């Protein structure tokens, strides 16, 4: 959760609020700010995988007014030249207080991927994505890194990234690295799985690799042992910033939609050691029968049976939270993916869930969708 003032916290769930938007667009080394007088609308998608079966790239789609022809480009070649330079776009949302002061919250750093001139509408549309989109195009050749921390730093530095944070605990996990050339995005995905860690780009544009155990500890979690009717699921209850991590029913536009993913019956992990590969199978003993799905992990950074069993146990534990809560509501800019929240329904039952997907829609006012995963 992004840290803000108490004034912001008081205002964000108030019945009447005003949230403004602005972007900073850097083109040819020059940065210009555009506010609500230019921003017609935007859609922002933030997404992360709790078990790293994919490494999603966050995406910003913004439409800007072009009645002054500021964004007119002479030809297609000019547009292609601009896109090839991957201009930087930063988005911020600001809470407007009664004294007309504004507190701004960063919503991420993105890089231009597509540019569309809407001549008839006298507007332009920009499609921007975060670092992970570019990392998929950068190959990585392994060095002699002996642990996951050094390997992650090497991947990031060779990709030209200097703004990153890798948790110190990854130094304790030894590895033989990659035998073959691999793209940098997939390399980070493998590191995330082997470290049982979240891999994401934060709101400041920094790439972060942080174990979920560290994420939970930093937010002062504790296990709540009360009635499951009120606090379903097993994710730990948030005690720090609790009010902000509670999506109450009166903030929603409709009843939360709940769907169930299939449970994982077994996890099959390939262990790479001494030039050979062997399978380790771990069964999910928390479900009855064998009607769940089989989940396979083929990760060259898993080199011992003990490590394979640790990773499999983590996958099984996360997969047991297979209830997906889709909440259409007013949105809160300070909530981030990986935050554990409480989702309330019309019966005042609150379910503990972890956010894995956020969508923000803005057309002069803010709303959106939060998808989170937890228990029933």
Last residue of a domain, one of 134, 155, 172: 134
Of 49-53, 220-224, 284-288, the poorest mean pLDDT is in 220-224
pLDDT computed for residue 143 by the predictor: 74
Task: Tell me which residue range forms the domain holding 204.
Answer: 135-214
Sign of CA dihedral 202, 26, 94, 370: negative
CATH number for 272: 3.30.1920
The arithmetic mean of pLDDT across residues 33-47, rounded, is: 97
212-216, 226-230, 241-245: lowest mean pLDDT where? 226-230
Over range 191-220, report the average pLDDT: 82
Residue 283 exposed, middle or buried by CB count within 10 Å (0-12, 13-18, 19+): middle
Of 92-101, 109-118, 353-362, which range is least confident? Answer: 109-118
Structure confidence at residue 224 as a pLDDT band (50, 70, 90): very low
Q: What is the DSSP string of 94-108?
A: EEEPTTS-EEEEEEE
Query: Across the chain, which distance is largest between two alpha carbons, in Å?
Result: 67
127 and 37 in a single domain? The answer is yes
Query: Do 15 and 126 have their domain in common?
Result: yes
3-state DSSP call for residue 209?
strand
Does 116 share its domain with 41? Answer: yes
- 64 contacts 27 by C-beta, under 8 angstroms: no
On whether residue 231 sits in a domain, the answer given is no
* pLDDT of res. 145: 83
Task: Report whether pLDDT(226) > 80.
Answer: no
- Regarding whether 26 and 42 lie in a shared domain, the answer is yes
Is 18 in the same domain as 73? yes
Confidence of residue 21 (pLDDT cuts 50, 70, 90): very high
Q: Is the dihedral of CA 226, 232, 233, 237 positive or negative?
A: negative
Residue 167's domain is classified under what CATH number?
A: 3.55.50.10
Determine, yes or no, domain membership for 205. yes
- Beta strands 19-27 and 88-96, pairing class: antiparallel
Same domain, 185 and 66: no
Q: Which of 125, 108, 120 is nearest to 39 (CA)?
A: 125
List pLDDT tens digits, range 97-129. Answer: 999 999 999 999 999 999 888 877 799 999 999
With bands split at pLDDT 50, 70 and 90, how would you rate the model's confidence at 234? very low
Is the CB of residue 268 less than 8 Å from the CB of residue 281? Answer: yes
Please compute the mean of the pLDDT values over residues 218-239 and round it to a whole number. Answer: 38
Q: Is residue 146 part of a domain?
A: yes
Residue-wise pLDDT for 249-281, tens only, equals 999 999 999 999 888 899 999 999 988 999 999
Query: Helix (H, G, I), strand (E, B), or coil: what is residue 359?
Result: strand
Helix ranges (H only) for 281-376 are: 305-319
148 inside domain: yes
Concatenating the DSSP letter of every residue in 155-195 gives HHHHTT---EEE-GGGGGSB----SS-EEHHHHHHHHHHHH
Is residue 300 a contact partner of residue 178, using CB atoms and an 8 Å limit?
A: yes
| Predicted local distance difference test score (pLDDT) of residue 230 | 33
């Amino acid at each position: 959760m992004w840290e803000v003032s108490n004034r912001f916290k008081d205002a964000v769930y108030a019945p009447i609020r005003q949230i403004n938007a602005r972007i900073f667009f850097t083109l040819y080394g020059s940065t210009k700010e555009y506010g609500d007088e230019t921003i017609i609308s935007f859609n922002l998608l933030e997404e992360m995988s709790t078990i790293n079966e994919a490494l999603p790239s966050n995406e910003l789609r913004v439409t800007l007014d072009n009645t002054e022809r500021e964004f007119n480009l002479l030809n297609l070649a000019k547009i292609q030249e601009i896109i090839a330079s991957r201009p930087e776009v930063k988005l911020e949302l600001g809470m407007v207080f009664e004294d007309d002061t504004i507190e701004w919250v960063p919503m991420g750093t993105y890089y231009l991927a597509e540019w569309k001139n809407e001549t008839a509408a006298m507007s332009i549309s920009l499609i921007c994505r975060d670092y992970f989109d570019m990392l998929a195009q950068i190959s990585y050749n392994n060095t002699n890194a002996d642990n996951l921390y050094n390997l992650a730093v090497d991947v990031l530095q060779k990709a030209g990234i200097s703004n990153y944070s890798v948790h110190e605990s990854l130094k304790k996990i030894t590895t033989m690295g990659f035998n073959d050339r691999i793209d940098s995005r997939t390399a980070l995905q493998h590191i995330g799985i082997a470290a049982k860690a979240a891999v994401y780009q934060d709101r400041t544009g920094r790439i972060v690799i942080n174990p979920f155990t560290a994420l939970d500890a930093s937010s002062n979690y504790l296990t709540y042992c009360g009635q499951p009717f009120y606090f379903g699921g097993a994710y730990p209850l948030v005690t720090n910033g609790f009010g902000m991590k509670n999506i109450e029913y009166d903030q929603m536009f409709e009843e939360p939609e709940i769907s169930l993913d299939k449970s994982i019956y077994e996890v099959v992990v390939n262990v790479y050691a001494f030039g050979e590969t062997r399978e380790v199978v771990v069964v999910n003993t928390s479900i009855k029968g064998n009607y769940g799905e089989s989940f396979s992990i083929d990760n060259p950074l898993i080199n011992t049976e003990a490590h394979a069993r640790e990773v499999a146990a983590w996958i099984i534990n996360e997969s047991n939270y297979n209830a997906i809560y889709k909440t259409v509501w007013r949105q809160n800019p300070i909530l981030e993916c990986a935050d554990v929240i409480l989702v309330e329904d019309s019966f005042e039952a609150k379910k503990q869930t972890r956010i894995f997907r956020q969508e923000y829609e803005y057309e002069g006012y803010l709303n959106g969708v939060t998808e989170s995963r937890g228990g029933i």
